[in-house]
Structure 1
Amino acid sequence: MSAETFEFQVEARQLLQMMIHSIYSNKDVFLRELLSNASDALDKLRLEALRDDSLGADTSDLHIAIEADREARTLTVRDNGIGMSRDEVVHLIGTIAKSGTAAFLEEMQRAGDTAAGEKLIGQFGVGFYSSFMVADEVTLLTRRAGEPHGTRWSSSGEGTYTVETVDDAPQGTSIELKLKPADAEDQLHDYTQSWKIREIVKRYSDFITWPIRMAEPKPAGGADGADGGDGEEGAGSGEPQTLNSMKALWARPRDEVGDAEYHELYKHISHDWVDPLETIRLQAEGTFEYQALLFIPSHAPQDLFMQGYKRGVQLYVKRVFIMDDCEELMPSYLRFVKGVVDAQDLSLNVSREILQQDRQIQLMHRRLAKKVLSTVKEMMTAAPDRYATFWREFGRVLKEGLLGDPENRDAILAASTFATTHDKDRPTTLADYVARMKEGQEHIYYLTGESRQAVENSPHMEAFRAKGIEVLLLTDPVDEVWVDVVPGFDGKQLRSVAKGEVDLAGSGEDAEQAAGEREKQQEEYAGLLGWMTEHLGDTVKEVRLSSRLTVSAACIVSDADAITPALENIYRAMGQEVPQVKRILEVNPKHPLIAGLNSAHAARPDDPALGETAELVHAMALLAEGGELPDPARFVSLVADRVERTLHA
């Protein structure tokens, strides 16, 4: 098939121009990305060959080769891994930044500095295109294992790329970079120098489990003085040498591995460009042996909450790669955790179906989850700044475990913190909340809402604020759900300040006095409450006096066992039918509006204007909690009418 030329989309062209004209100081990372991709291709071929005997692929000497030509100024990274079909090339290579080119460009422009830009490249999955930082032209030649024809892709990054089918491509993928002209003043970025290539491989890719081989680069003009010799056997002879140690970090003694090596392994398996927040090592011995090296990232990926997010850790069996994103090893609420698990007693041809039923996998799943949760809890006291970063990035997803993992519910609660009225700048643990509870307080109080400001300004908070009772401020969508599932903490029940009746009177003489005053108010307002309940019967279940209001005229509350309006909306957004639940209107007998309405009702119970006033009270209560009015136009009409009357009074 003849070569076809395609145009990049507008956003893709913008991205390529950023790469081509990049001023990033750390250009070296382009080679790390290419080596990581090559390693992944070898892993995939090994796995495919185990599963498919008819593949016909050569797996006798799987490796990565680097070739540099100083005279031609080319650098080639070649692997004999799984390779790609023509369709895969067009889909995976011809489409830049599938995770969101537009969002990437926006973040790049917002970042405004080179260091932040480097981090974003890996975050948005465009590492292959970092090659254009150092190359004027990139050519990719690939053939998928088991297929007769190969594919060549090439581009100079100027807006187009070509794709053609070739007959003589070897199995695997090679990427040839036509390097930019040499800068005599910038020898640190001459990627035809063998010492430079060795340095990058040692720094970033020493742990890769496949051999990375390189023959001495072809000299420019027959000279090889730039390298100065390194004393290795075969140097300068053209004989390929292995540059990496290929040692599995998780199998080496802890005191032999530094943080830098751990961080590079994390970047290799996660394709992130930022160091992890926390490194977790685990070694299980006994009847079932396995080793785990897990990482908590420093930031949440863009697609963490999107359907199809690839979660799970890499599974190895006796150092042989089995699968990426092994979901069975990690619960969904820990899907942000990356890492490696190497088991000793599993079959090499294990499948996902077998994993779902395997008892050893289930034991590993539980142990790994408990280890991650205990590590997060330790961070609270040992590294509070890192914990604060963790909670900001992953607290929302961690709380999903309160719904689906009853076994670890206490551990999740112990590792969680929540915004609170006690301290605006510092969230609290439930243990600290309980320790601060006032004498006689029986419940842990909370209020859910869309934002901290909305929750703090809610009328439901007034009595609690007046009495200095601490309230948790829960503003994540998942909070609406888990608070109805978790019964309590440390023997204390979780109680919403917007549900049921609230009694904050306590005990003693003050309580008796409050009870007497309330009984008197109940008698005084009985007529108004009955009339309002009947008049608003289509929208409310009941109208009653409130003990939670000190400033506002009214508020809307739910029954103690009813779902909140926000939760109703979540269920409806998921396509579930939820019956409309009538809620309760509470009025403040000490507010002038309610007191005046009570007096007016006693004097002229048949006045139509009173019904309109009752509707306004209900509508204002809905608006105060951020709810939606059933008939906004009528509300506006009633308010306009009342304002006009005041002008003529």
Structure 2
Amino acid sequence: MGGKRVFAEKGDSVSRETLEFQAETRQLLHLMVHSIYSNKDIFLRELISNASDALDKVRLESLINKELQVDTSDLHIAIDVDKDKRTLTIRDNGIGMSHDEVVSLIGTIAKSGTAELLRKLRETTDAGASQELIGQFGVGFYSTFMVADRVTLVTRKAGESQGTFWESTGEGTYEIETLDEAPQGTAVTLHLKPEDRDDQLFDYTGEWKIREVVKRYSDFIAWPIRMAGEEQPLNSMKALWARPRSEVSDDEYHEFYKHVSHDWTDPLETIHMKGEGTFEYEALLFVPARAPFDLFSRDGKRGVQLYVKRVFIMDDCEALIPQYLRFVKGVVDAHDLSLNISREILQQDRHIQIVRRRLIKKVLTTLKDLKAADGEKYTTFWSEFGRVLKEGLLEDPDNREQLLDLIMLSSTAAESTSLREYVERMKDGQKDIYYMTGTSRAMVEKSPHLEAFLAKGYEVLILTDPVDEVWVEQVNEFDGKPLQSVAKGKVDLDGAEPPAEQAAGFEALLTWLGEKLADDVKEVRLSTRLTTSATCIVGDEHDITPTLEKMYRAMGQELPHTKRILELNPEHALVTGLRAAHEANADDPALAEAAELLYGMALLAEGGELADPPRFTRLLADRLARSL
């Protein structure tokens, strides 16, 4: 793709400007320049990966756009070393970049999670941890400043006549100018930092070092990687997904995963599969060991790379992987699709839907086998991706049973348990799987709703993820056992209903409280779930929970307020005292204040919000003052 003169002589300048990096980009570059990492080889792997992507794109564009005048007869990546000048150049004859794309792609980090990355990089003092963070985020081009004092770039987009020159020292600014002439593709030249004679392992002017890094990290790249002036490729160029699994080593799988995911760590699981029959395809998928920063971002990337007969078609093919498996990375190579297939057509293509179903089934089966074979590894997976997998209980009813067998939950008896393990521990005669949702384990454990269940030895699932509020409303049972919220409906625990004579003794008080609190509650009744607390608030069996109601409102969906039920503990001194006071003088104004306080206490006990906190505290203070 042209000679080295491009970098020695920038060419005829049409316009030249000095621009500032985006603020977060400047911070990241500062950390790159002024930090030392245990393995700097990441920069070469990332530049080769970027060059490979550019070659994929130019070949695809040439096949789709017949009017595009590009030479694709010798697409390759060239590496040129100049020991005297201490420069290292990586060039490709791929798709290239326009002037605006250079500013957008290099002058700005347009990825969610940047601030979180910067915070973690500043906080960590461990070199290995810093390296993993960089690899996990996939900063790619910016990693060059770990080894270079200055970086220059020349690029021309295929089909355009003018090129672009870019240069920076990795500080606050960069220079950019338009060139009248430039070879198609992109060439990046690193002006390497002064040689460290005590650290020859990182001498990137040595051809042996270049060969070592390429063989270790980029051997699977589909395009030839050559030393400048040589014809023999440094890499084997074998598509891993097309080779029998027995011929691929774990190290090769791991490096390929790092190539497609820009993650520096090894994957947790590798899935190599081949589909035969009326529609043939190969797939190489990976389950990561850690979640990316943008896992819960609306703009986060998801999906796998799609190839057709070894021709790259698109990144992030969402049609092949559902939202709840968005953490899965890898490649699918289909044999019988059109090269210019669009994302819209993919959504409806019958063959793609068949592949999608098979991929989902294979991933879920792999996770099931992992759970059975290696509890520690599955715990790692669940801690990183459990919240995402639970979304599948809503999105994918066809695979709900498999997903229910995969989920791990907290309970009053265990930090982590499967639903099947819960069922095996159920008490004799227990018909329901009991659960309670909340914002934290500590809040649920202290909830008055649990009192009778704990007193009688029943295990209750503790669900604290936001998605839990939604899926338990849609999943009615597991293994024939209904799921029952301890904060909804009436509780029937070993004939726990209050005796008829006791209920009759409270009838007048319950009716009076129901009238006084009519704006807030639909009913006041005696409780069978309380043993030590005076009162609690529960919902009807099919009522929406307050947390879910709040979530819908936060998303702009206004719902009518759901009135709930106030339950009283007939054995508590406060309740029996209130009944006695009501029987003595039902018209006492202090009783109305006591009713408000009773309801407010119940609301606060479950973590709810008072409608009028100043009034509640004033009533409470007055009541305490009169009792002293």
Give the equivalent residue in structure 1 for 2:4.
none
Q: For residues 344-369 of structure 1, give each alpha carbon's deviation from its aligned partner in whole angstroms, at most 9, with x where no partner exists.
A: 22222222222112111111101100
SS across alignment from 1:324? strand
Could you tell which deviates more after superposition, 357-366 or 6-15?
6-15
Give the equivalent residue in structure 2 for 1:484.
473
SS across alignment from 1:77? strand
Give the equivalent residue in structure 1 for 2:625.
644
Matched, 1:604 2:585: yes
Q: Within 5 Å, which residues of 2 pair with 1:258-407?
A: 258-407=249-398
Matched, 1:569 2:558: no
Q: Within 5 Å, which residues of 2 pair with 1:183-582?
A: 183-215=196-228, 238-424=229-415, 427-505=416-494, 511=495, 515=497, 517-582=498-563
SS across alignment from 2:63? helix
Q: Which runs of 4+ in 1 moved over 4 A?
A: none
Matched, 1:49 2:38: no
SS across alignment from 1:2? strand
The one-letter amino acid paired with 2:123 is R
Please report the TM-score for the alignment, with normalisation by the length of structure 1.
Answer: 0.93
CA contact (8 A) 2:435 2:484 kept: yes
Could you tell which deviates more after superposition, 14-23 or 562-571?
14-23
The Cα of 1:241 is off from its aligned counterpart by 2.5
Whole-angstrom CA distance in 2 between matches of 1:566 and 1:10: 37
Whole-angstrom CA distance in 2 between matches of 1:615 and 1:316: 66
The Cα of 1:98 is off from its aligned counterpart by 3.4
What 5-or-longer segments of structure 2 have no aligned partner?
A: 1-13
SS across alignment from 1:178? strand
Q: For residues 316-372 of structure 1, give each alpha carbon's deviation from its aligned partner in whole angstroms, at most 9, with x where no partner exists.
A: 112111111111111110011000111222222222222112111111101100111
Give the equivalent residue in structure 2 for 1:148.
161
CA contact (8 A) 1:99 1:125 kept: no
Could you tell which deviates more after superposition, 248-257 or 471-480?
248-257
The one-letter amino acid paired with 1:337 is V
Give the equivalent residue in structure 1 for 2:10.
none
CA contact (8 A) 1:97 1:125 kept: no
Whole-angstrom CA distance in 1 between matches of 2:553 and 2:25: 37
The Cα of 1:125 is off from its aligned counterpart by 3.1
Whole-angstrom CA distance in 1 between matches of 2:83 and 2:624: 84
Could you tell which deviates more after superposition, 259-268 or 7-16?
7-16
The one-letter amino acid paired with 1:576 is Q
SS across alignment from 2:307? strand
The one-letter amino acid paired with 2:254 is H
The Cα of 1:520 is off from its aligned counterpart by 1.9
Give the equivalent residue in structure 2 for 1:182.
195
Whole-angstrom CA distance in 2 between matches of 1:448 and 1:363: 36
The Cα of 1:10 is off from its aligned counterpart by 4.7
SS across alignment from 1:53? coil
Give the equivalent residue in structure 2 for 1:104.
117
Matched, 1:26 2:47: no
Please report the TM-score for the alignment, with normalisation by the length of structure 2.
Answer: 0.96
SS across alignment from 1:328? helix
Whole-angstrom CA distance in 2 between matches of 1:341 and 1:16: 35
The one-letter amino acid paired with 1:474 is L
Q: For residues 533-559 of structure 1, give each alpha carbon's deviation from its aligned partner in whole angstroms, at most 9, with x where no partner exists.
A: 011001100000000011111001001
Number of residues paired by the alignment? Answer: 615
The one-letter amino acid paired with 2:243 is R
CA contact (8 A) 2:137 2:262 kept: no
Whole-angstrom CA distance in 1 between matches of 2:20 and 2:141: 18
Q: For residues 144-179 of structure 1, give each alpha carbon's deviation from its aligned partner in whole angstroms, at most 9, with x where no partner exists.
A: 111111111100123221011111111111100011
Give the equivalent residue in structure 2 for 1:618.
599
SS across alignment from 1:157? coil
Could you tell which deviates more after superposition, 135-144 or 251-260?
251-260
Could you tell which deviates more after superposition, 441-450 or 8-17?
8-17
Whole-angstrom CA distance in 2 between matches of 1:333 and 1:599: 56
The one-letter amino acid paired with 1:421 is T
The one-letter amino acid paired with 2:192 is L
The one-letter amino acid paired with 2:131 is E
CA contact (8 A) 1:207 1:246 kept: yes
Whole-angstrom CA distance in 2 between matches of 1:125 and 1:545: 59
Q: Within 5 Å, which residues of 2 pair with 1:123-142?
A: 123-142=136-155
The Cα of 1:97 is off from its aligned counterpart by 6.3
What 5-or-longer segments of structure 1 have no aligned partner?
A: 216-237, 506-510
Matched, 1:589 2:580: no
Give the equivalent residue in structure 2 for 1:224.
none
Give the equivalent residue in structure 2 for 1:86.
99
SS across alignment from 1:59? coil
Whole-angstrom CA distance in 2 between matches of 1:563 and 1:518: 30
CA contact (8 A) 1:312 1:328 kept: yes
CA contact (8 A) 1:316 1:343 kept: yes
Q: For residues 576-613 of structure 1, give each alpha carbon's deviation from its aligned partner in whole angstroms, at most 9, with x where no partner exists.
A: 12111100000101111001001111111111101110
> RMSD of the alignment, in Å?
1.3
Whole-angstrom CA distance in 1 between matches of 2:551 and 2:591: 36
Give the equivalent residue in structure 1 for 2:6.
none
Could you tell which deviates more after superposition, 99-108 or 430-439?
99-108
CA contact (8 A) 2:64 2:339 kept: no
Whole-angstrom CA distance in 2 between matches of 1:303 and 1:473: 27
Matched, 1:169 2:189: no
The one-letter amino acid paired with 1:526 is E
Give the equivalent residue in structure 2 for 1:235.
none
SS across alignment from 2:499? helix
Whole-angstrom CA distance in 2 between matches of 1:584 and 1:52: 66
SS across alignment from 2:608? coil
The Cα of 1:51 is off from its aligned counterpart by 2.5
SS across alignment from 1:40? helix
